[in-house]
Structure 1
Amino acid sequence: MSFSQNAFGFLAIMALVTMVHCQDWTDAHATFYGDAKGGDTEKGACVYRTLTQGYGLQTTALSTALYLDGATCGACYEIKCTNSEWCKDGAGTIKVTSTNLCPPSIGPEAWCNPPLQHFDLTQPMFVTIAKYKAGIVPVQYTRVPCTKQGGVKFLINGNPNFILVLIFNVGGVGDVKEMKIKGSGDWAQMSRNWGMNWQIGGSGWINQELSFQVTTSDGKTLEFEGVVPSNWQFSETFEGKSNF
């Protein structure tokens, strides 16, 4: 092999290594809520039941600037403590899913007010990277893919004239920007109610086999044909055969 070929191969390998290790980090701050067991994490603004729907304590509430009126519910972040005596040595990073809103407040500790980018972590996640006594620490974060077990899940709520679907356990980018529903007819557009609840009116969905078309924030779309059988009942959860 000639020198030029070796050089080309070396440069190609170095470019690949650079791509793998190049990661954009953004400055923010982090606090915590709850106790050592996680506190009140079971149902936040995104409407997930975190402990029973697979999110566990690896979760965070987002400041207004990051929450985006619920559009980023389900997004996953990698976070590291930086430039503080309160950072734990060798702690590395944590990975969390956004499940809640840290609401704006009044006063000198209004960390979640716009335009601040802030993470209010569960206590177990905070003390993984920082000392409990700190209370608040500077961090850096980046969006990362969400890794989920099993398929995308759909919880059906509402009433005979109103269907409300909570979508959760979404892999890939994690946050959903569009949903459609189909019974015996054509696809119909749903609208986001709050968190990751999506709604549509009408009584024609009862006793219908239901399908969903889901588009995540990166533009990827999956169809879940017949994921809900015709004998479905309200408050039931159904799991698709695929994930992002």
Structure 2
Amino acid sequence: MHYQILFVVFLVFATMAPLQALAILFATSLFIQNLGDAATCSDCFVHSRAAYYPNSDEQGSDTGRCGFGTFGATINDGDVSAVSDLYRDGLGCGACYQVRCTNSNYCSDKGVTVVITDHGGGHQTDFILSRRAFGRMAQTTDAAASLFALGVVDIEYRRISCSYPNKNITIKIDENSNYPNYLAFVIWYQQGKKDITAVQLCETQNFVCKLLDRSYGAVWTTTSPPSGPLSLRMLFSDEDGEETWVVPLNNIPGNWKPGETYDSGVQVNV
């Protein structure tokens, strides 16, 4: 498209005075730059709709499709959400979004920051918020009651960096793990706005690494895991294709146990 615009401008140049041609060239360059900025704007808001969990308490669900368990109901003080397309086969689990409704009579300019912990959709919505998060989009308590009465509202959203002050990335061993034959875990407290697109599990003795499978949601699994203390390698990727490998300082102990959590010793903001 940009080349087509330049070609048309070139044809116009042939019939114009030099100063006029220079002015048109400058305006065209600004127009093309704005087109590029609009196409790559990662901070722009997207319009959609949002509902809320009708039968939930204030917080989220502890059976969410991301596999976070009770952590998925309470993380971010319960300001969590299920999503439809943004779930991305589990890749979107743990991502953070600023969500604000657009009715100026009820809605605040700031909206609410939510963490994705579940998959779901309906009524042409991208987000199904916890009751707590849905109400926090409102200006006042009375306005929140009006939002709940509406049930489904127009919103705009954008992805933002997650922030967990004083927290390192934490590995939670899934309760369905079976030492030493089957290992499954989820990754908690991931800061930034990149996705974890691959995870390797490495022996610390000879550093032989094994690529893990994403079982569902944010659950990474492997059969016949390596023995002894285990080192992780996590690949962080963004929408522009930039990739960064992160290696935690702390290892998963060789005698890991289902249900246990292990502090990685590192945090990211990539």
Same fold by TM-score, threshold 0.5 exceeded? yes
Asked if the contact 2:66/2:93 (under 8 Å) is kept, the reply is yes
TM-score, normalised relative to structure 1: 0.77
Secondary structure, counterpart of 2:168 in structure 1: coil
**Aligned match of 1:50:** 71
Structure 1 distance, partners of 2:149, 2:209, is: 53
Read off the aligned partner of 1:210 and give its amino acid letter: L
Instruction: Tell me which stretches of 4 or more aligned residues in structure 1 moved more than 6 Å.
Output: none
Q: Report the Cα distance in structure 2 between the residues aligned to 1:180 and 1:145, rounded to whole angstroms.
A: 24
Equivalenced residues, count: 210
**Pair 1:55–1:25, CA change in 2 (3 A):** same
Q: Give the whole-Å Cα distance in 1 for the aligned partners of 2:62 and 2:194.
A: 19
- Identity across aligned pairs (percent)? 23
TM-score (norm. length: structure 2): 0.70
Q: Matched residue of 1:129: which SS?
A: coil
Higher RCO (C-alpha under 8 Å, 6+ residues apart): 1
Report 1:1-244 matches (<5 A).
Answer: 23-34=43-54, 37-38=57-58, 41-48=61-68, 49-50=70-71, 54-63=75-84, 65-82=85-102, 84=103, 88-90=106-108, 92-103=110-121, 110-111=122-123, 116=124, 118-130=126-138, 131-149=147-165, 150-157=167-174, 158-159=177-178, 160-173=180-193, 175-183=195-203, 184-185=205-206, 186-202=208-224, 204-205=226-227, 208-218=228-238, 219-244=243-268
Higher helix share: 2
Q: What does the per-residue CA deviation read over 1:26-45, in whole Å, with 9 as the maximum and x for residues that have no partner?
A: 01100001568425522311
CA contact under 8 A between 1:38 and 1:57: conserved in structure 2? yes
Larger C-alpha radius of gyration, 1 or 2? 2
Q: Which residue of 2 aligns with 1:18?
A: none
User: 1:96-132: CA deviations, max 9, x gaps?
Assistant: 01000115xxxxxx42xxxx55100011111122421
How much is the aligned-residue C-alpha RMSD, in angstroms?
Answer: 2.6
